[in-house]
Amino acid sequence: MPHLNLEYSDNLSELNVDLLLLRLNHALVGSGQFADEADIKSRAQAFAKYRVGTAPGERAFAHVRLAILSGRSEQVKQQLSGSLLAVLQEAIPANAGLDVQLCVEVLDIDREPYAKLRLPAE
């Protein structure tokens, strides 16, 4: 915990996904909400088949879903979503002729049934 999923349209051809995931992870570490940087798990998936709206024209999206253990205030969740959105905006600048939507959602993982086991390197 936390788990960060980045989904994006594959027409964001200039996107450096490895660097973006690293920057998103750094934003989470910088928030002070997570005790160990190794607890942050992020992954990305590009979509070749997608539709944004109904109008013709080139459109794209990047969506971050952050799942965190329950118990944090709405203010903390807003700060997390705001900092992640700022990272997305820096990494995915406006493109001429391409309508891009960037969004972030923060979800709670129920703390009580959550289980985790870390197998350290030997």
Q: At what angle do helices 74-91 and 17-30 cross, to 10 degrees?
A: 150
CB 60 within 8 A of CB 9: yes
How many whole angstroms separate alpha carbon 86 and alpha carbon 92?
10
Band (96; pLDDT cuts 50, 70, 90): confident
Each residue of 47-91: pLDDT tens digit? 999 999 998 889 999 999 999 999 999 999 999 999 999 999 999
Whole-number pLDDT of residue 118: 85
Residue whose pair of structure tokens reads 């493109």 in the numeric block: 95
**Tokens of residue 111, six digits:** 């703390």
